Structure 1
Amino acid sequence: MLFLAGDIGGTNGHVALMRAADDRPGHIETLAYRVYPCAAFPSLAELIRTFIDSEVRAPVSHCVLACAGQVMGDEVANDNLAWPILPAALRATLGLADVAILNDFEALGYAIDGPLAESGRHLCGPQLRGVGPSLVVGPGTGLGAAIYVPHATGGTVLTTEAGQMDFAPHSVRERDVLAWLAPEGGYVPVELIVSGPGLLTAYEALCALDGVMPALATPKAVTAAAAEESDSRAVEAVALFCAALGSFTGNLAMSYLPTGGIFLAGGFLSSIFDLLKQSAFEERFLHGRSVRAMLAQVPVWVTEHGSHGVQGAARWYMHHREATRTAFAEGAVA
């Protein structure tokens, strides 16, 4: 069985042609894989059509897409995608029989027992995973999180919109940044700080608070300047970002007790790994909590996002199809 699998984020769209082996249950082979900048396409249908025209040589009628946001009826509710995602319109435009949608971090959760867990760089905590739930967190264009709960038949992933939680400042400087973001008070989501665009926002806020004009215009420029120590506010912005990420991750860890480990996913974090390692992330992950001793036993790794979202989406899709087939067969027998 051939099918398409995609991981569609706010910046890039990862698309693959997959093949499920009938004689090897659970085995999925990647036949082609491409990454496209979302901004280069007027619609998701055009992005997928480009992949089909370039890489697909046989008829394909099934597709699974991991997308930033949550499925609400026949559309995906999101704040960070380049265009609206409407499964029915995709089916009609591309001539597909089936377009299944799941959250992008739900897909990453399903990849935890695959190569995702094997490819990370250790950040803090023990070197080995314990038994129990695992957490995947990722700041990119937005901020996502999901929890993987293992069980005898594989595992279940609980999706979240944790990035939309309120930002909770820890230091006086963070309180000043929050006041700059919302001078009249009100809701400020944590992803407004803990994300790629959020890093730039933090830098701009620090410049404004210090009465200087921002010299940097992209998150990549901020991280480069921080690594070179050529801009003091870039250094402070990355430090603030890393510390806030530590607090956010610690809060989620207290909610789910992920003794199976935490995976911080995304190329953005991998690119600043050394800065993250030297930052207050670990102290803020642990600091001042009555469960500090427990959190100290939770391992944390940083892993490249890469094709893991596509692989997780494919694993979810095959499990979903098998569960549907089994339920249908049991219903027919009954």
Structure 2
Amino acid sequence: MPAPPRPGLIADIGGTNARFALVKPDGRVIAAERLATRDFPGPVEAARAFLARHARDENAPDRAAWCIACPVGGDEVSLTNHPWTFSIASSRAALGLDALTVVNDFVANAMAIPELSPADTLNVGPEPAPATTPISAPIAALGPGTGLGVALLVPDGPDLWRPLATEGGHVTLAPTTAEEARVIAHLWNTYDHVSAERLVSGPGLALLYETLCALDGEPPAQTGPRAIAAAAQAGTDARAVRAVDMMFAFLGTVAGNLVLSAGALGGVYILGGIVPANRDRFQTSPFRDRFEAKGRFRDYLAGVPTRVVLHPNPAFPGLVRLLRDTGRTVGSP
């Protein structure tokens, strides 16, 4: 009898922690553990420590998919906020793997989208009829957090998707109201380029709030994005409310531009930590109206769904999909 398929090794590696898991071919988790990156000289050593505790000979992995918090453009990978630097080919050989796929962390998050259940997402705006959502159209993914991640999923055959990592978070941010124009003009005194990420992110929310206070000639009453978001949710700081609503409006502008540019009629999925943590405010924000506000192309965008991803760790189902697609089509940017 043929030997049963071996499990896969997946890992979500950030600057502080690396989350490893052994998974069956159907995605079920056999074992999982979070390791501190500071405790190991590199990902191979961290993976070996994890496998030593959880993988016997009969369930040693033969394939792996890792996502890393940094750009991935070749064999050599260097984390943005940690001194780990490693070779993909050398890591594969050191761990005795047949295949090792390494992608940017936002690509893995985007790859989770086809794996999500209805309970994993929250629809924002009108829910289009299924017939109006082309199954062969690209999907757009945006994730405001520490920065603004942007990726596309492009259909690549039956039940296959090819992720495209982009630097769409650094597009030039365009105002659509007089107040937004005042904010951006004020920021030009400091920044020669005001990108989408500059204001649509955690640090961006703090900068947006501070800018509104400066324009009003008042000192900031809140410090940091969490305090600003909390004050907006409680309704105790009018400028915090304006800042949060303006950030979500800007996100709508960027998302609508992305759909028009990429033909992403398959929908827009919002990932990252900020929007799910403020979902009530987001649902009543100007996001969806701004998303559709494209003049003659309002009707074109009106049928495109926009959804917030609520899954607590979308990188893992995305990595499972990359494992399954290894040998057919993989997602390295």
What TM-score do the two structures reach when normalised by structure 1? 0.81
Match of 1:316 in 2: 322
Asked whether the 8 Å contact 1:76–1:84 carries over to 2, the reply is no
Asked whether the 8 Å contact 1:102–1:313 carries over to 2, the reply is no
Query: Separation in 2 of the partners of 1:69 and 1:14?
Result: 16
Match of 2:249 in 1: 243
SS in 1 for 2:72: strand
Asked whether the 8 Å contact 1:11–1:37 carries over to 2, the reply is yes
Q: Does 1:271 align with 2:277?
A: yes
Give per-residue Cα distances to partners, 1:274-305, cap 9 Å, x unaligned.
Answer: 11111111111111432110100011111125
Query: Separation in 2 of the partners of 1:173 and 1:12?
Result: 40
Query: Separation in 2 of the partners of 1:37 and 1:172?
Result: 47
Query: Separation in 1 of the partners of 2:102 and 2:153?
Result: 18
Give per-residue Cα distances to partners, 1:124-177, cap 9 Å, x unaligned.
Answer: 132455122222211111111222223433222222111121222222222232
Identity score, percent: 31
Q: Does 1:115 align with 2:116?
A: yes
Amino acid at match of 1:107: A
Match of 1:187 in 2: 193
Q: Does 1:148 align with 2:150?
A: no
Against the structure 1 CA distance between its residues 147 and 28, is the aligned structure 2 distance closer, same or farther, given a 3 Å change threshold?
Answer: same
Against the structure 1 CA distance between its residues 74 and 30, is the aligned structure 2 distance closer, same or farther, given a 3 Å change threshold?
Answer: same
Q: Does 1:257 align with 2:263?
A: yes
Query: Separation in 1 of the partners of 2:88 and 2:138?
Result: 36
SS in 1 for 2:270: strand
Asked whether the 8 Å contact 1:62–1:96 carries over to 2, the reply is no
Give per-residue Cα distances to partners, 1:235-280, cap 9 Å, x unaligned.
Answer: 1110111100000000001112222222111332111111111111
Match of 1:88 in 2: 87
**Aligned runs of 1:161-310 on 2, under 5 Å?**
161-183=167-189, 186-310=192-316
Against the structure 1 CA distance between its residues 217 and 94, is the aligned structure 2 distance closer, same or farther, given a 3 Å change threshold?
Answer: farther
Match of 1:56 in 2: 54
Q: CA deviation at 1:311?
A: 1.5
Asked whether the 8 Å contact 1:134–1:148 carries over to 2, the reply is yes
Query: Separation in 2 of the partners of 1:199 and 1:11?
Result: 23
Query: Separation in 2 of the partners of 1:179 and 1:202?
Result: 12
Query: Separation in 2 of the partners of 1:169 and 1:286?
Result: 15
Against the structure 1 CA distance between its residues 75 and 172, is the aligned structure 2 distance closer, same or farther, given a 3 Å change threshold?
Answer: farther
Query: Separation in 1 of the partners of 2:105 and 2:309?
Result: 15
What TM-score do the two structures reach when normalised by structure 2? 0.81
For the aligned residue pairs, the C-alpha RMSD in angstroms reads 3.3
Query: Separation in 1 of the partners of 2:122 and 2:33?
Result: 24
Q: CA deviation at 1:57?
A: 4.0
Aligned length: 315
Match of 1:332 in 2: none
In structure 1, the gaps of 5 or more residues are 21-26, 325-334
Query: Separation in 1 of the partners of 2:312 and 2:46?
Result: 18
Asked whether the 8 Å contact 2:77–2:88 carries over to 1, the reply is no
Q: CA deviation at 1:109?
A: 3.0
Match of 1:138 in 2: 143
Against the structure 1 CA distance between its residues 304 and 152, is the aligned structure 2 distance closer, same or farther, given a 3 Å change threshold?
Answer: same
Q: 2:20 aligns with which of 15, 19, 23?
A: 15
Against the structure 1 CA distance between its residues 9 and 289, is the aligned structure 2 distance closer, same or farther, given a 3 Å change threshold?
Answer: farther
Asked whether the 8 Å contact 1:137–1:249 carries over to 2, the reply is yes
Against the structure 1 CA distance between its residues 115 and 89, is the aligned structure 2 distance closer, same or farther, given a 3 Å change threshold?
Answer: closer
Asked whether the 8 Å contact 2:48–2:95 carries over to 1, the reply is no
Against the structure 1 CA distance between its residues 249 and 312, is the aligned structure 2 distance closer, same or farther, given a 3 Å change threshold?
Answer: same
More deviation, 257-266/65-74: 65-74
Query: Separation in 2 of the partners of 1:48 and 1:218?
Result: 33
